[in-house]
Each structure stands twice: as structure tokens, then as C-alpha cells.
Amino acid sequence: MNRRHALIAYILVACSLAIVFIARAAENYKGDWTMRRSDEAGKVEFALITHRHGGTSHHESDWPVSAFQGLDVAKPGKQEVKFTIARDAGRFDCQGYLEDGEGAGLFQFAPNANYASQMNSLGFNDVDADKQFTMAVMDVTVEFAKQMKAERLEGLDTDKLIAFKIFGVTHEFIESLRKEGLKIAEADKLIAFRIHGVSPEMVRYLRQAGYQPSEDTLIAMRIHGATQEWIEQLKKEGYDHIDLQKLIAFRIHGVSPEFIGKLRDLGYQHPEPDQLVAMRIHGVTPEYISDLRSRGMKDLSIDQLVSLRIHGIN
């Protein structure tokens, strides 16, 4: 066999292998879909279920009805349906049945052959087949990737783009935080903000109250429940503009407006924040104080009460 024939044979084999690979990839990325009515107008509850790598993946959320090309969800009665969901990363071809807008069926995913190279040109160079499927499900568009790239965020990669879509990190969310004075530049922090509920409104409230919270402090406040409403309750008890780290310590150890009120009823007017935390750490409760008084130990200071508990006086 001369070199020309050998080259042609090699090309034919390579093409055959490519066709087999594509066919297997398309076969692997298939699964089930379900659809139910949503409480939100113009949307349906849509789920995609796949069985891969020995496990099951289930993604369900509210989708706009406009996402389903060739489908009339408002049509009454039972109907056989075929529809398409077109995404930058690929296309979902779906078929099945609906009855009064609810039903189920099968889907097959056809990846967009140009998507990985488009993302690679933006610096997202690890888009494998599994990630491309996930990015199609989450609708990670090329335009969205461009927007996030323009934000100049530290640690931004393909996985972060997917997480942004899952948790709702958008250009608008980032800009609204920056308008409140945060110079946020880490992708991980933005995801944590969304997970724990750090909002522009929260930042605005704290800044108007005279605080300059760091990103980590904002996250810690949300984790431990130091909310605006709770801070306002503390103000009514006379604790205005307490250091944010002390507020977090209050939440961790259980210093509450109710606790402060019970201490006031026992004659302890406005203890220092550190004293309140120490009382909770060592178990100096209103009940403990009342019990000591019933045994004749009256007029004890907070420091004395804490010392008694430390030394095991019950």
C-alpha cells in the first residue's frame, strides 16, 4: 500500500471512530423529563433526569414556557408532544405526553460542536462532555461567560460559571453590590453571598447604620442569623451600633433580646457586650441567678456570677 492509499485509509478509520464516538456520546446523554404546572405565571416546573456513571442526576426548576420550542402547554386534554430546548451548549430533543399541561417523556441531548471552542477562546478551557451537558441544562451562554469575564473576578472558571447560574449570580447582582460600596472581586465570595443570602439591601442597611462590613463578616452574619430585624430588636434593648463581631458572638452564644430583658428585670441594667457573651458561655442564666438569690446569695455582680459558674458553684 502506497503512502497515499495509507493516508486515505487512516482518514477513513479516523472518521469512522469519530462517528462512533459522537453516536455514543449522543446515546449517553439521554434521559427522562417531567413537567408540572407552576405557581408562577408563564412558567412550568420542568425536570431533566439522567442516569450516568452509576448514579442519577435530577435537575428541576421553573422554566419559562418560551424555552420549549414547538410545545403548547396551554392545550387541554392529552396530547403526544415533541419539542426542542435550544441552548448555546447544545439542544435537547424531547418527546412524550402531556395531559392538561403536565406529563413526562424522554429526551436526547445533541451537543453544539462549536461551544467548547467558543468557551476556550474566552479562557474557559476545561469544557469536557459532562460539563457541556451541565452547562446546557443551566443555560450557561457564551454571552453570559463574556459578561462574567468582563467583571474581572478572581478564581473564575468553568465550574464557577455553572455555580453562578445555579445560585443566581448575575451582572446585575454584582453591580448592585458594588453600588453599595463593596469592591467584591472573588467568584467564591459571590457564590457564598447567594447561598447565605447576603443582599445589596443588607449591605445598604449596615452602611447607613455606620458599619463598614467586610465580605467575610457579611457572610458570617448571615450564617449565624444576625439579621436587620434582630439588630433592630437589640437597639430597643439599648444596644445600638455594637461591633459586628460582637453581634456575631451574640448569635453564636445565644445572647438575645429576651435574655437581656430578663437580666434587666433582675436588676442588671445594660451589661457590657463581653459580659453578656461570658454569661452565655458559662451558663449564667436568669434561672441560675434566681436560684442563687433564693439561697441568700444576693447583689452579686456579673463578674462574680461568671466566676461562680467557672468554679462549679451550681
The per-residue pLDDT for range 85-113, each reduced to its tens digit, is 999 999 999 999 999 999 999 999 999 99
Q: Is the pLDDT confidence value at 23 over 80?
A: no
Residue 25 has pLDDT above 70, yes or no: no
Residue 148's nearest CA partner among 108, 126, 127, 119 is: 119
Q: Is 253 exposed, middle or buried (0-12, 13-18, 19+ CB in 10 A)?
A: middle
**How confident is the model over 135-165, as pLDDT tens digits?**
999 999 999 999 999 999 999 999 999 999 9
Q: Are 85 and 31 in contact (CB under 8 A)?
A: no
* Range in 12-21, 75-84, 106-115, 116-125 with the lowest mean pLDDT: 12-21
Q: Is the pLDDT of residue 4 over 80?
A: no
pLDDT band at 28 (very low <50, low <70, confident <90, very high): low
Confidence of residue 19 (pLDDT cuts 50, 70, 90): very low
Set of cell numbers at residue 133: 451537558
Half-sphere exposure of 188 (CA within 13 A, CB side): 3
% pLDDT > 70, the chain: 91
What integer is the mean pLDDT of 28-35? 91
- State how far the Cα of 201 lies from the Cα of 243, in Å rounded to an integer: 19
d(C-alpha 193, C-alpha 179), whole Å = 16
Indicate whether 10 pLDDT > 50: no
Q: How confident is the model at residue 130 (pLDDT cuts 50, 70, 90)?
A: very high
Least confident of 15-19, 30-34, 53-57, 306-310: 15-19
Q: Is the pLDDT of residue 18 over 50?
A: no
For residue 217, the SS3 value is: helix
Is residue 293 over pLDDT 60?
yes
Alpha-carbon gap, residue 48 to 34, rounded angstroms? 7
Q: How far lies 197's CA from each of 81, 138, 169, 174, 249, in Å?
A: 39, 21, 12, 14, 19
Integer Cα distance of 105 and 33 in angstroms: 5
Provide mean pLDDT across the span 21-49.
81
Q: Is the pLDDT of residue 21 over 90?
A: no
pLDDT of residue 51: 87
Whole-number pLDDT of residue 24: 40
φ and ψ at residue 90, rounded to 5 degrees: 160, -175
Residue 2 half-sphere exposure toward CB, CA atoms < 13 A: 1
Distance CA 215, CA 206 (A): 12
204-262 pLDDT per residue, tens: 999 999 999 999 999 999 999 999 999 999 999 999 989 999 999 999 999 999 999 99
| Residue 13 pLDDT exceeds 50 | no
Q: What is the pTM of this model?
A: 0.84
Which strands form 30-37's sheet, in the order they lie side by side?
A: 55-64, 43-52, 30-37, 102-111, 90-99, 78-87
